[in-house]
Amino acid sequence: MSAVRRTLEADIKEMEEMVLQMGSKVRESLRLTVKALKGRDKDLMNWIIKNDDVIDELARQIDQKAVATIATQQPMASDLRVLIGIIRTITDLERIGDLSESVAKEGLKIADQPLLKPLIDIPRMVEIIDGMLEDALQAFMLRDANRAEKMCLRDDEIDGLRDQVQRELLTYMIEDPRTITRATPLLVISLFLERAGDHTTNIGEHVIYMVTGEVKDLNI
Amino acid sequence: MTSIAAKMRTESVSLFYGKNQALKQVTLSIPRNQITAIIGPSGCGKSSFLRLFNRMNDLIPQTKVEGQVYLEEQPIYNARIDVVELRKKVGMVFQKPNPFPMSVFDNVAYGPRVHGIKDRVHLEEIVERCLKQAALWDEVKDKLKTSALSLSGGQQQRLCIARVLAVEPEVILLDEPCSALDPISTMRIEDLMQELKKGYTLIIVTHNMQQAARASDFTAFLLAGELIEFGPTKELFTAPRDSRTEGYITGRWG
């Protein structure tokens, strides 16, 4: 193999590892939102908000490296698709990071009051998204389009849970309008999490593009 | 594969140099008013393939062509074809600029004169039109009488293109036209190709993959005399169907 080719492969490998690192930080923030909400833990919420800066910085580094690689190595075919896939993937990971931060900020609004109800569906949503993210990152590393496609199917569960959360919270608010201030942040959180699920599905689509060159819309 | 009508096409063409088979049953349609790039590693038969289209291989001893090549559905490997007339319709630009050792004007007027045009005013019109088409007019209009050899390499190559245009071809074959040029001159030629495709069909052989990707509409990948893949350039360079194409264009081998 030529030295130039080795450089390109080493660059891609390094970027993949950075994406994994970014992915695990995003998953950490996401998972911790549940712990922070359940424990009304303001310190933890603030930590999540701060952790987003770390995620953003990683995204910036990967993006710079990808752009430099495109400019200097002029990758073609699967190499090009992988680089485009990396750039798109970090955009979605970065958005999931932002959404976790937004969940934490909503959490801060209700941290001084008792929870309206025990959290069941929201933790379930986070658990599913986290599992999907794990699958998405695995599929990304292994270039496994089947796994990516299967992962995307789970997005329906998240949408179902969001509907359920909304129905339930609306019932609370209709029965007793005084619950509105405590219910609204939870309602907003369920919307944020649904969006996080959509971004995870996008990552699955990027993996499929990297492997096959096909653009599929699996956010149905 | 392409909905654009074929200007030229090859049908199961095999080419032999003595006992060596340089091309193996290549069937390919060249879309009209498009730029088709032919890529592949050294010795894959790219230039041999290009020379089929105006029967330049006839000039090499001991060549044998099987199959057929068509221009507007007329077979060109045919005893009745006038090869001089064919090469007028299918012009060629070579790797190294090869202007004749005469003035800029006479270089462009050479072809029309050979084809019987004597009228000075008419020749002047042709020279001006072709130099303009070749994007060279502004640079040479005040030195039409100077020797073509005094021009820069990039200007000489555009002069050669103007010389081809002067005999009103339908197809222009370019055999690595930029390999001896600097990046700026290369860009000029590529810009010019985009202009020319409005009126002509272009086929370019290039070693430079980025050039094929940038400057062509369709790309054919040849390997060891075989056509491996042909398709829209945008598709071939982003998602090639054949693993050998993938291997070549990503530099895994070749």
Give the span between the Cα atoms of B136 and B162, in whole angstroms. Answer: 8
**B213–A1 CB contact, under 8 Å:** no
CB B241 within 8 A of CB B248: no
Tell me the percentage of chain B whose pLDDT exceeds 70. 98
Give pLDDT tens digits for B165-195.
999 999 999 999 999 888 998 998 999 999 9
Residue of A69, A74, A78 to mutate, testing the B interface (most B Cβ within 10 Å of its Cβ)? A78
**A77–B246 CB contact, under 8 Å:** yes
pLDDT at B3: 67
More confident residue, A138 or B252: A138
Give pLDDT tens digits for A8-51.
999 999 999 999 999 999 999 999 999 999 999 999 999 999 99
Give pTM, 2 decimals. Answer: 0.85
For A161, the domain range is: 3-212
**A150 inside domain:** yes
Helix (H) or strand (E) segment spanning residue A123: helix A121-142
Fold of B6-98+171-249: Rossmann fold (3.40.50)
Give pLDDT tens digits for B77-105.
998 999 999 999 999 999 999 999 999 99
Largest CA distance in chain B: 57
**A220 inside domain:** no
In A56-95, the residues whose Cβ lies within 8 Å of chain B are 74-81
Nearest by CB to A81, from B209, B238, B252: name it: B238
Contacts of A75 in chain B (CB under 8 A): 250
- Rounded to a whole number of angstroms, the distance between the first and last alpha carbons of chain B is 26
User: Average of pLDDT values for B227-239?
Assistant: 96
Six token digits for residue B248: 């070549």
Place B254 in a pLDDT band, splitting at 50, 70 and 90.
low
pLDDT at A216: 86
Contacts of A212 in chain B (CB under 8 A): 239
Residue of A nearest to B246 (CA): A77
pLDDT at A47: 98
Nearest by CB to B250, from A79, A213, A214: name it: A79
Tell me the shortest Cα–Cα distance from A80 to chain B, in angstroms.
7
Nearest by CB to B239, from A5, A75, A81: name it: A81
Alpha-carbon distances, residue B9 vs B4, B81, B171 (angstroms): 12, 16, 12
- Whichever domain contains A181, its CATH number is 1.20.58.220
- On the question of pLDDT at A180 being above 60, the answer is yes
Give pLDDT tens digits for B99-142.
999 999 999 999 999 989 999 999 999 999 999 999 999 999 99
CB A28 within 8 A of CB A36: no
Give burial (CB, 10 Å; 0-12/13-18/19+) of A59.
buried
pLDDT at B249: 93
**A217 inside domain:** no
Give the span between the Cα atoms of B15 and B12, in whole angstroms. Answer: 10
Mean pLDDT of chain B, nearest integer: 94
CB B230 within 8 A of CB B40: no
**A218 inside domain:** no
Domain ranges of chain B: 6-98+171-249
What is this model's ipTM? 0.76
User: Average of pLDDT values for A142-160?
Assistant: 96
pLDDT at A102: 98
**A219 inside domain:** no
- On the question of pLDDT at B64 being above 70, the answer is yes
What is the number of domains present in chain A? Answer: 1
Gyration radius from chain B CA atoms: 18
**B209–A76 CB contact, under 8 Å:** yes
